[in-house]
Amino acid sequence: MNTTSRERFQSTLARSKKIAVLTGAGVSAESGIPTFRGAGGLWRRYEATSLASPEAWQRDPGLVWEFYNHRRERALGCSPNPAHRALVRLEDRFRDAGGAFTLITQNIDGLHERAGSRNVVRLHGSLWQVRCLSCARVTENREVPITPAFAGSGSPDPEAGDRRFTAAELPRCPCGGVLRPHVVWFGEPLDAGDIAAATAAVEGCDLLIVVGTSAVVYPAAGFVPMAKRQGARIAEVNVEPSAVTGLCDFVFTGSAGEILPSLLDVAPARA
Ligand code: OAD
């Protein structure tokens, strides 16, 4: 890591009063959760991104639930890593000092919350919530398997055959409607309240820290140019360049779990 840019970043961090952090799948990679793009982005013979779509649900809701059931099972066995914990300490220090801190995440795994992050905007929903297609009620749901019919399913092995789940085997709301994962799929709008909260956090922030995202999915990726336009400093932590690296004032190349703990360990100026 370049010491000069690290020191410059840390002095910017210490002076900042309003910090926003944007995270993506890379922040959970060291917890054992595969990212969407690149190695690990395949489940069975499907691109993970192609299953996170209304079209995939229309074609075969059982297959989509099998994929999400597998992701739940996997997330349940994973723990927050040093990157998640470093962001919790950063939030605690800045809030104690009277500053504002918002963590905007594209992740649905819940690891930021499990680590202890408090002010989290979940742009893409939650793996641990379900929504009824009939009554639209959103509920917390931590069942793994999601229904008994899904026990033992979900093997990511490309040789594993797809099992056809019947409508009767899909998870159901007490009202009788089919439940779907309460996550945002490609082509679906984000929750207006989440967009508003993220926009408010980015507008007027002194510093935006972008961690472990390829920054190719909008509107999440758009928060980086938004911060830039209104004069914020931008720092990136990623193992490789992303679509927004060119907009960043500080670029730290390497794994988030190794870089963030020491990089963020800075006392803020009192508000
Ligand atoms: P991606 O899989 O597109 O990108 C993961 C990023 O993390 C890449 O830029 C990697 O270089 C980086 N990375 C991997 N391991 C890392 C590590 N240990 N430390 C730091 N960086 C690391 O995931 P996202 O950008 O989160 O949306 O993808 C955005 C959205 O696309 C997801 O929320 C999901 C997906 O389709 C929906 O499902 C709607």
* Domain annotation for the chain: domains and CATH numbers: 1-32+80-124+190-271 (3.40.50.1220), 34-77+125-183 (3.30.1600.10)
pLDDT of 161 reads 83
Atom 9 of ligand 1, residue of closest alpha carbon: 214
Residue-level pLDDT at 3: 56
Instruction: Copy the structure tokens of residue 129.
Output: 């919530």
Nearest CA to ligand 1 atom 39: 185
Per-residue pLDDT of the chain (271 residues; tens, 9 = 90+): 555 899 999 999 999 999 999 999 999 999 999 898 876 778 888 988 889 999 999 999 999 999 999 999 999 999 999 999 999 999 999 999 999 999 999 999 999 999 999 999 999 999 999 999 999 999 999 999 999 999 999 888 888 888 899 999 999 999 999 999 999 999 999 999 999 999 999 998 999 999 999 999 999 999 999 999 999 999 999 999 999 999 999 999 999 999 999 999 887 776 5
CA 29 to centroid of ligand 1, rounded, Å = 9
Residue nearest (by alpha carbon) to ligand 1 atom 31: 217
Q: Is 124 a catalytic residue?
A: yes
Q: What is the pLDDT of residue 271?
A: 56
Tell whether ligand 1 has an atom less than 6 A from the beta carbon of residue 124: yes
Catalytic member of 70, 84, 124, 182:
124
Q: Give the distance (Å) from ligand 1 centre to CA of residue 195.
A: 19
What is the chain written as a DSSP string? --HHHHHHHHHHHHH-SEEEEEE-THHHHTTTPPPSSSTT-EETTEEHHHHSSHHHHHH-HHHHHHHHHHHHHHHHT----HHHHHHHHHHHHHHHTT-EEEEEE---S-HHHHHT--SEEETTEEEEEEEETTT--EEE---SSSSGGGTT-----TTSPPP---GGGS-B-TTSPBEEEEEPPTTSPPPHHHHHHHHHHHTT-SEEEEES----STTGGGHHHHHHHTT-EEEEEESS--TTGGG-SEEEES-HHHHHHHHS--PPPP-
Ligand 1 neighbour 213 (Cβ under 6 A):
yes
Give, using CA atoms, the residue closest to atom 29 of ligand 1: 217
Between the CA atoms of 237, 242, 246 and 247, what dihedral angle is there, to the nearest 10 degrees?
A: -60
- What does the pLDDT read at residue 49? 83
